[in-house]
Structures are given as structure tokens and as C-alpha cells.
A and B are shown apart, each in its own frame.
Chain A
Amino acid sequence: MTADRTISRALQRAALPVGVAATIAVLLVVFYYPVGHVLVSAVREGGHLTIEPIRAVLTDPFYAGVAHHLFVDPLGVPAGVVDWIAAGFPSVRLGLFGFTAYQALLSTVASVLLGLPGAYVLARYDFRGRRTIRSLTLVPFVLPSILVAVGFRAMFSRRGLANDLLGAVGLGPVELLGTLQIVVLAHAFYNAPLVTRLVTTAWEGVDRRQVESARSLGASRIRAFLHVVLPALAPAILTGAVLTFVFTFMSFPIVLTLGGLDLATVEVWIYARVQSLALQEAATLATLETVLSLAFIYVYLRYENRQVTTRGGGQSLPRERLVAGWRSLFDPRRLAIAAYVAVVAVVIVGPLVSLLVESVTDPSGSFTTAYYEFLLARQSSGAVGTVRPMPAVINSLVFGAGTLLLAIPMGVVVAVVATRGGRGSRVAEAILTAPLAVSGIVVGIGLLLTFVFGTTVAGHRLVVTGPVAIVFAHAAAAYPFVTRNVAPALGGLDPRLREVARSLGATRLRALLEVELPVIAPALLAGAAFAFAISIGEFDSTVLLAEGVDSYTMPVALERYVGTRSLGPNLGPATAMGTVLLAVTAVSFVVIDRLGGRWEP
């Protein structure tokens, strides 16, 4: 009995270090080794280390824009700035990196502006369907870009719904396709719900007692908001903003499909260089891009650490009824919310609805079920190489579940490391969060060059393909979201809770599982939903790893349906598959949220 307990305690004590080791092992295999393989080629030439490729990029005005002077002629920069001022601030050449950062900044501002009011409404008002809508905020996040492009086209093209609406009030038509505006709008479509989601979770975690005591001490509503609520939201807002910036900095499918080549970002260029097998140049660009993204994440982690506020498992703020009698509809706040809902309807709901409409409309505009019949025909087809919809749905769900199993422990482990504090924990966290900062193309090409083609490790030829590799890759991409949701909550937890548990004899693991996790369940749940979402929507590495016919997912099936030549220039089958994807993921999120609801304190 005592021996058993000693062993069990020893095991529990070892659990966290083992978890850290396992997390690092998975990351080494599916992330650091393949990505390292790509990045190393940027600084190696003929077996020697060299900075020549990086210097070549930095001194090229095409890439670095006006900043290339810094690397070509650093001493001439002050004089150059003086000349520029003297010339009356003419517009400067941004270069590929500069332009990429510029559009990412615009996209971030747009996403935060569009996302924040949503969090306010979801966290502070009660209305029928609130929880469902809250669950569905993750849906845009998982949609494959090809599908979003279709929806956006149906919504914003010359003959789209938006122009029809404009036309009805005597305006337009507005040509948005191929412009920076539509790229920013599409980025907002993807990332505003992310901001909403993160901030809603944080807002719901604000302890009402703190607000109430501030108010009872005489603070006005605004003051209480600024001093109590806002500091609690800041980390979530910042997380949303930084993630959005990094994602849109690395944006490529949206820029490719909705923008023109004149809006190329660094990532678009990397993709093109990979396509023409100029791998070293691609690796050089990827290295610089990764360094920049990691720097953003590091700076943000440092900031986030200082923002964490102490909070226990208190009660959430009470929610107001959104509709309390029809007179309440005319109160200015409700009117503002109505205006906001109208904007959301155009930017976020519009493209999704347009997508559904496209799936039942033929090119001439009349109703058709042909595209769903196409899916059914594919399902019953015996022809080899036919991508059938049902296996795609099942694979997606199975991989998603597998991703949850891996990503939740990994994410929690990293969150514990991150909140433990101490020297280097920020650096450790930044390194462990690196999958966020490395683009899918780089991971994909790295996996291809290493495991897919086979690599020799200690005399053994290793080839990793198929479902396990896919789940590993998904988990590596997904767990940072679990961490990003859990770490602030864990950090904000009253340390006395844990200390009491520990002093009563609980091990660190037991305190984590039985005391801390239940308190931060909503954050954990949000992280789980994100992890699932990432897995469902992941395309770049899935398509490389899904070699056989038995491991394609919904986005891969969708992409295969796009190129069906026998149907002509027709996205119908893809929109039908997209609708299926939309339905499956929407139901999944609602289920995850509802099941998770049981844990809520």
C-alpha cells in the first residue's frame, strides 16, 4: 500500500517532465527537424556556412525596399533620410517585406475592429442562440481559402450580392476583386472571429466581484471598465492582434486567390520559388520571415507576461438581455449593435451564405441539385482514384480527434512551463510556440524533403507517411492555440489555490488536474476547439502527407473537386463539398462547446 503510493507519487512527479520531453520529441520529429532541414539550406552552400544568400536578399530593393540601404550603405542612411525629408516625404518603396508587413498591419486593424464588438455582444448580452453563435465563431477559421475565395467572389464580385445591394441604393458597382481591400477584408473574415473568440473567453473570465467592488468604491461604469475589465481583456486582445498579424504576415492562399500578383507577399514569393525549385532562395526568404514572426511572438509573450492579472475562479459578469421589450431596440447601444450585426452580415455571414447559394445554383443562376448528385455519384463510384466524400468526412473527424488527444496535453504542458516563470521561460515558450511563426509551406517542404522521401537516422531508413504523420503534424500546428488559451488563465489563477492543494499533500500533477484545470476549463475548452479547428482546416501538410487514397480530408477532397475538367470551369462540386465541410465543422464545434459546458464551474 505504502509502496504503491510511493510509486504512484513518483510517477505523478515524473509526469510533467515526461510530458515536456514527449512534447519536445513530437516537435523535433514533425517540426524542428523538417523545418531545420529547410532553414539550414539558407545558410549553407557547398558544405560551408555562408551569409551570402541572406545578404543578397537584404540588399535587394525588390525584397527590402528602401530598407536595403541599411545593408548596402549603412553610413549613407542619415543623409538619405535628410534628402527624403527635403524632397517633401515622397512615397517610399516598401519592398516585398515592407508591403507584406503593411498589409498585415491593415488586416490586423480590420480584424480587431471587426472582432471586438462581437466579443462585447457575446460576453455581455444574453439572447437566444448566444452559445451556438459563440461556438460558430470558429467556423471561418477552418475554411479552406479556395472556399472563402468562392464565397467572397459570390459576395463581392461585379455581380455579387454586395454590388446588388449597392445598386439598389443607386451606388456602385465596386470592383473589389484583385484589390488590397478585398485581401484585407478576407483576412478580417478569417481573423475577426478569432479575436472575438479569444476576447469573449477572457471577458467571461472577468470576476464580477472585482467590478462590483470597484463600482461600490465609487468608480463610474467607464472607470470600472478601464481599470478592471480592460486590463483583464488586454492579453486576449493582444493575443488576437499578434496572431492575426503573424497569420496575415504569412498569408498566401488568400493573397493568391483573391488578390493579384501585384499584391504578392513574402509567402506568395516563397511559394513561387518552391514551385520553380529555387529552394535555397525560398529557404532564405522563409528564414527571414520566420525570424520576424518569432520576434513578434517573443515581444508579445514578454508583454503578455506583465499583463496577467490575478483572478480566481470567481463568478462571471452578469449578462444583460439583448432584447428586453421592443422599446429597448431603440436604445443607442442596441442600435449600435444592430449596425454592427449588419456589418458582420455583409463581411462574415455574406460570403458563407453566398457559398451555400452557389452550391445549389448553376452558372445561369437557376436552382440545381447537380452538385450534390455529383457528390453522391462520387460516393457510389467504384472507379479507382475517385475521391469520395464520406471517407473525407470520417478522416477529418478522426484526425481531428487524434489531434485533440495530442494537442491538449502538449498545450497544457507548454502552458505550465510558460507560467512557471523564471529565467528563460519566455525564450523557452517562444521556441515551443514556434510552429505559429513558421508557415505551412516551410513545414510542408521540410516534411517532404525529410520523412516523406525517407531519411536515414542511425542507419535506419525512416519513412513517415499516412494518418499518424498527419495527426502529428496537425497536433504540432494546433497545440500553440491550447497554450495561448490556457497560459493566461493558468497565469491569472490565484497561486494560493495551488499552494493549498500542495500543502495538503497533492503532487504538482494532481494539483494541476484536480484544482487548476477545472477552474480554467472554459479556456481549455476554447483551446480544444481551436485545435480541432486547425486539424479540420489544415491543408498544406495534409495534402503532402496524404499520399494514399485513404487519408484525404475534407479540404483535400474539396481541392480535388475544383479541378474536375469534365465539368468545365465550374466550382459547383467544390461548393457542395464545402457546404458539407461547413456543416460538419459547425456541428462539431457546437458539440465540443456543449459537451464542454458540463465542466464549466
Chain B
Amino acid sequence: MRRRTFLRTAGAGSVVALAGCTGNGDQNGTPSDTPQDGSSGDTQQNGTTTTGDPERTLTVATYSSFTGEDTAGNYLKSAFEDDRDDVTVEFEVPENGLNQYILQKQQGSNVSADMYLGLNTAELVRAEDELDAELFLDSRGDLDRADAIKSDLEIDPEGRAVTYDTGYITLVYDEDEVDSPATFDELLEPAYEDALITQNAQQSDPGRAFLLWTIADQGEDEYLDYWQGLLDNGVRILSDWEPAYNAYLDGSAPMVVSYSTDQVYYHGPDVDMSRHQVGFIEDQGYANPEAMARFADTDTADLALEFMDFVLQPEQQAEIAVKNVQFPAVEDADPGEGFSEYAYEPPEPVTHTYDELQGKVDGWIEQWARQIAGP
């Protein structure tokens, strides 16, 4: 209790000594984040808070469906606020996602949020490509729970973005109409003529994941030829997951690019699950991890770090999985049977690493879009 007061007044002076308490000091190199590192490990372990403390506010930027009634975001807010007194979590939901903060940084104005939740690898790459200054602080080294994260879901070699959940992009198909294709090349065969609906990779997460998956499989020099093959075989590219999925439900085509958690929505006593089969091409699924990161401009870096560790606790991970219908990022979370029974993990998750995407992903997508649009 007194320690917290002390921390605030003593500021940077106490940092060196306290940094050790967080367990891992090797990411503390940058001057900007050192003053705030101290409190994280301690307060977390103590779990106690000061009643007389002025309110601390954490502004979390995220996507709109993460906040509001019955969402993972709102659950996290209440749980975190209950866990410590005098903390308020606020959400900011910019229409254009991370771009908002990249632009703010480019324009020289202060980034208005403390952290971002819902980052994917391609966005991280874009932030790096677009900015000279660092948008994010390093966090991974200062987190107690970092080592619990499944290693194949980590997206940032530099430890700024920390994964908190993931989806796997797969095919969803109607087994009465079609067999799940075993390989990507099979999709070019006449059996799959006019059979697949996917999404526009320029604006849709699953659409981009499917495109990247084909690039991972076919190679970056051949993927455009492969897509020409798909086009010739009648693939349809709709704007986003929702219209694509609804076109699939309407019977426009027997297969759609979607998530391996599809059955979570649809299972039920009198539901015909034959229309909701999950197909893993090449026994794979493309992992689309969602990560969180602290903005470099934040003045509550310590609180943000506490929040990140909180998000990675097994209990919160299980709740996020259920409420956000994504897989937990850590090994030791159990989202419960209702979820596990109907959410499938691919035998072999694939994804592009940060280094593979760097400087390339926007170009790949534009070339692809030109190939499709080519008027």
C-alpha cells in the first residue's frame, strides 16, 4: 500500500531496483519505458491496492465487436476493475483500426490511447513500414505470463506485440454437396468448379489469411498464377466474411473460407451439422493471432503492462476464448467443453512470420487485387 505511493513519487529513482522484481529485465533497454516498469510485477503479485490513490485510467484501443455488452472486452474491463481498486478501463474504437494511430504518429500528434488490442501481424508490419518512430513499447520481456504463450502464435520477434488469442482460417463446407479438398491443387479441378466463396483480402481478415495461406503453399512467385486458376474455376470473392458466409448459407456455393470455430455458433440439438463441416486443406489451417501492444506515447505504461499480464491469466484466457470465439493464446487455459468440443484446431497451423511479411504483405495484396479487378 505504501509501496504504490512511494513508486509514484519516487519515480525513476526506484526503477533500477524494482526492475528485478518483474523477473526479466533484458527488454528494459529503452529509456521511455523504464520509468513505468516498476510497479507491474509487484502489484500483480500483491493484489492489493491503495484506497486513497487517485484514479488510474487505461485507455484501450480495440475493434468495435470487442466492446459492449456480452463481449470479451467488457468482461476484461469489469474483471480488471474489480481486481484492483481505483482503476478505470476505457475503450476507444477508431473506425479505421490501427491506421488511426499510425496516422496520428505520422502527423506528429500524440497517440490518444495507451494500448492497442486486436493487432495482427500484417498491421504490425504496416506500422513498421510506415513510421520512422516506434509506435509501440517492448512488453514481452516484462510480462510474467509471457512464457505461457504458445510459441507458434507469437507474432513479434521484437516483443512489442503479445498474442492473446487466435483464430484458424479454414474451409467450411457442406458435406452433402462436396468433399473437402485435400490439397490446394485439388481446388483447381472441375469437381470444385464454382464451389468456393472467399473474401476480399484488402479488407477482410479471413480473406487476407486465405490469400497468405495460398502464398505460403504456392510460393510468392506462383501465387498469382494459382489465383488465376481459382478464378478460371469460378471462385467468388465477396467483400467480407459476413456477406460471404451468408451467400454460403444461401446456397450460392458449397464451400466458404471461414473459421475453424464455426460450429461453436451452430451446434445444437436439432441442427444439421452437415452444413458446417470444417475442412483443413493440406491438413493445415492458417493461424491469425490477435495481439496487444502498448503505445510508446502512453503515460500509464505500468498499468498497461499489468493489464496485459491480467489478460494472459488462464481464467481470463478461457473467458476471452468463449466470448470472442477464438482459441486461447496460452497453454494452460481451459475454455470449457462447450467450446472445445466444437472448435477445431488444425493438425498443422501455418502462418507467415513478421520477417516474412515485412515490406511485402501490402504489395502481395495489391498485386492480387489488380489480378482480380483487372478491368
Q: Do residues B77 and A175 form an inter-chain contact, with CB atoms below 8 A?
A: no
Q: Do residues A385 and B126 form an inter-chain contact, with CB atoms below 8 A?
A: no
Residues in B whose Cβ lies below 8 Å from that of A271:
203
A94, A453, A566: which contacts B107 (Cβ < 8 A)? Answer: A453
Bound form: Cα–Cα A387–B372 in Å:
37
A269, A386, A568, A571: which contacts B69 (Cβ < 8 A)? Answer: A386
- Given known contacts A453-B109, A562-B242, is B373 in contact with A96 (CB within 8 Å)? yes
- Given known contacts A158-B250, A275-B203, A277-B126, is B238 in contact with A387 (CB within 8 Å)? no
Residues in A whose Cβ lies below 8 Å from that of B240:
257
Chain B count of residues within 8 A CB distance of the other chain: 59
A134 adjacent to chain B (CB < 8 Å): no
Residues in B whose Cβ lies below 8 Å from that of A562:
242
Bound form: Cα–Cα A257–B100 in Å:
23
- Given known contacts A178-B238, A377-B69, A569-B246, is B370 in contact with A275 (CB within 8 Å)? no
Residues in B whose Cβ lies below 8 Å from that of A157:
246-247, 250, 252
Q: Do residues B74 and A262 form an inter-chain contact, with CB atoms below 8 A?
A: no
Residue interface bits A557-600, CB-to-B below 8 A is 1, else 0: 00110111110110100000000000000000000000000000
Can you name the residue of chain B whose Cβ is closest to the Cβ of A178?
B236
B351 adjacent to chain A (CB < 8 Å): no
Residue interface bits B57-69, CB-to-A below 8 A is 1, else 0: 0000001110111
Most buried by B among A175, A261, A276, A544: A261
User: Which residues in window 253-293 of A have CB below 8 A to B?
Assistant: 256-258, 260-262, 264, 269, 271-272, 274-278
Q: Do residues B200 and A62 form an inter-chain contact, with CB atoms below 8 A?
A: no
Residues in B whose Cβ lies below 8 Å from that of A383:
68-69, 74
Which of B37-45, B87-95, B277-285, B305-313 forms contacts with chain A?
B87-95
Q: Do residues B246 and A385 form an inter-chain contact, with CB atoms below 8 A?
A: no
B130 adjacent to chain A (CB < 8 Å): yes
Q: Do residues A454 and B109 form an inter-chain contact, with CB atoms below 8 A?
A: yes
User: Which residues in window 514-567 of A have CB below 8 A to B?
Assistant: 543-544, 547, 559-560, 562-566
User: Which residues in window 338-393 of A have CB below 8 A to B?
Assistant: 363, 377-378, 381, 383-387
B103 adjacent to chain A (CB < 8 Å): yes
Bound form: Cα–Cα A378–B374 in Å:
44
Chain A count of residues within 8 A CB distance of the other chain: 58
Q: Do residues A261 and B373 form an inter-chain contact, with CB atoms below 8 A?
A: yes
Residue interface bits B74-97, CB-to-A below 8 A is 1, else 0: 100100000000000011110110
Q: Do residues A566 and B325 form an inter-chain contact, with CB atoms below 8 A?
A: yes
Q: Do residues A159 and B251 form an inter-chain contact, with CB atoms below 8 A?
A: yes
Bound form: Cα–Cα A568–B362 in Å:
29
Q: Do residues B238 and A260 form an inter-chain contact, with CB atoms below 8 A?
A: yes
A94, A269, A378, A449: which contacts B103 (Cβ < 8 A)? Answer: A449
B315 adjacent to chain A (CB < 8 Å): no
Q: Do residues B239 and A276 form an inter-chain contact, with CB atoms below 8 A?
A: no
Bound form: Cα–Cα A276–B359 in Å:
12
Q: Do residues A448 and B68 form an inter-chain contact, with CB atoms below 8 A?
A: no
Q: Do residues B96 and A560 form an inter-chain contact, with CB atoms below 8 A?
A: no
Residue interface bits A421-462, CB-to-B below 8 A is 1, else 0: 000000000000000000000000000110001100000000
Can you name the residue of chain B whose Cβ is closest to the Cβ of A157?
B250
Bound form: Cα–Cα A304–B374 in Å:
37
Q: Do residues B249 and A363 form an inter-chain contact, with CB atoms below 8 A?
A: yes
A189 adjacent to chain B (CB < 8 Å): no
Q: Do residues B251 and A569 form an inter-chain contact, with CB atoms below 8 A?
A: no
**What 9 A-B pairs come out closest when comparing CB atoms?**
A568-B265, A385-B67, A563-B65, A99-B375, A264-B373, A272-B202, A157-B250, A386-B68, A381-B69
> A residues bordering B, Cβ < 8 Å?
62, 65, 93-96, 98-99, 149, 153, 157-160, 175, 177-178, 256-258, 260-262, 264, 269, 271-272, 274-278, 363, 377-378, 381, 383-387, 448-449, 453-454, 543-544, 547, 559-560, 562-566, 568-569, 571
User: 17 other contacts beyond A160-B250, A547-B92, with CB at 8 A cut-off?
Assistant: A93-B375, A94-B375, A178-B236, A258-B243, A260-B238, A271-B203, A275-B99, A277-B103, A377-B69, A378-B69, A385-B68, A385-B73, A385-B91, A385-B93, A544-B96, A564-B71, A568-B266
> B residues bordering A, Cβ < 8 Å?
63-65, 67-71, 73-74, 77, 90-93, 95-96, 99-100, 102-104, 107, 109, 126, 130, 200, 202-203, 236-243, 245-247, 249-252, 264-266, 323-325, 362, 365-366, 369-370, 372-375
A-B contact pairs, 20 of them (CB 8 A): A93-B375, A94-B375, A153-B250, A157-B247, A158-B251, A177-B250, A257-B240, A261-B237, A261-B369, A261-B372, A275-B202, A276-B362, A276-B365, A277-B130, A383-B69, A383-B74, A386-B67, A449-B103, A563-B65, A569-B241
